[in-house]
Amino acid sequence: MTGELYQRDRTWHPPALTPDYKTSVARSPRLPLLSLQNSDSELTGPTFGHGDIAAGDADLLSNYAQTGDPIGERIIVHGRVLDENARPVPNTLVEVWQANAGGRYRHVKDTYFAPVDPNFGGCGRTITDAEGRYAFRTVKPGAYPWRNWTNSWRPAHIHVSVFGTAFAQRLITQMYFEGDPLIPKCPIVATLKDPAAVTQLTAALDLNATIPLDTIAYKFDIVLRGHRATWFENRPEGN
């Protein structure tokens, strides 16, 4: 059994209320969060196996192909899921979703002019291996406009969802691409106050992982909360 999780640093994560990202104004609690010490309710979490997903789910170039390959820059996104102690997190579910090369999502609510790609769904999932590694193959998503300011454009990004082993490690984030000039303009990126946090969300071009004449690669490591050792523990009443 593992110990409690390190406290989440909520000055590193974005705060709830970030008015330049307008939707956060009415969707952010005004009262402080109630801080708990972990119990089994937080330290356990769902597990997933290869019976839950299909082998091809991690290949977005083929998992929704109807008549051929999707149009766009063919990329591999790979990395490791680690904890704050730099230990790999094996056998954990990683899910991704994204727009197509033109910045259009395959979603009933996306009405952007850029067309859907008949051969691209835009979601994938995989389970990390024994060393915490994962990989997806996809097309690089395009930037897209959104109704925040009158001329707001999201940088190219892939949404990433990770479980870990405890429900309290649950994390959703977005991966950005090295060198994208939209990154410093985006009010969602700017919810992060520390430039180092933005750096941590920016995937590096990884030429060593490309397949020559085939697919270029980006590397994106994901870090989940670490477990602390319980060296000396008093046993106070209550929580």
Partner 1 sequence: MVQKLDYLRETPSQTAGPYVHIGLSPRDAGFDIYDNQLGEDIAGPDAKGERITIQGRVLDGTGAPVRDVLIETWQANADGIYPGRGAVEDGFRGWGRVVPDAEGVFTIKTVKPGAAPGRHDTVMAPHLNLWLVARGINVGLNTRMYFADEEALNADDAVLNLIEQAHRRDSLLAQPDGDVYRFDIHLQGERETVFLDI
Catalytic residue among 105, 134, 176, 218: 105
Inter-CA distances, 111 with 104, 118, 157, 174, 203, Å: 8, 16, 18, 22, 28
Q: Which stretch binds partner 1 (CB under 8 A): 3-11, 67-75, 135-143, 206-214?
A: 3-11
Closer Cβ to partner 1, 2 or 73, answer by number: 2
Residue 64 among the catalytic residues: no
Rounded to a whole number of angstroms, the minimum distance from the CB of residue 181 to partner 1 is 19
Closer Cβ to partner 1, 196 or 207, answer by number: 196
Q: Which helix (H) or strand (E) holds 217?
A: strand 216-219
Q: Note whether 50 binds partner 1 by CB under 8 A.
A: no
Exposed e or buried b for every residue in 25-61, given b needs 16+ CB within 10 A? eeeeeeeeeeeeebeeebbeeeeeeeeebeeebbbbb
One residue of 34, 55, 130, 207 binding partner 1 per CB under 8 A = 34
Please provide residue 89's backbone torsions phi and psi, each rounded to the nearest 5 degrees. Answer: -110, 100
Size of the site for partner 1 (CB under 8 A): 89
Q: Note whether 200 binds partner 1 by CB under 8 A.
A: yes
Task: Return the active site residues.
Answer: 105, 144, 154, 157, 159
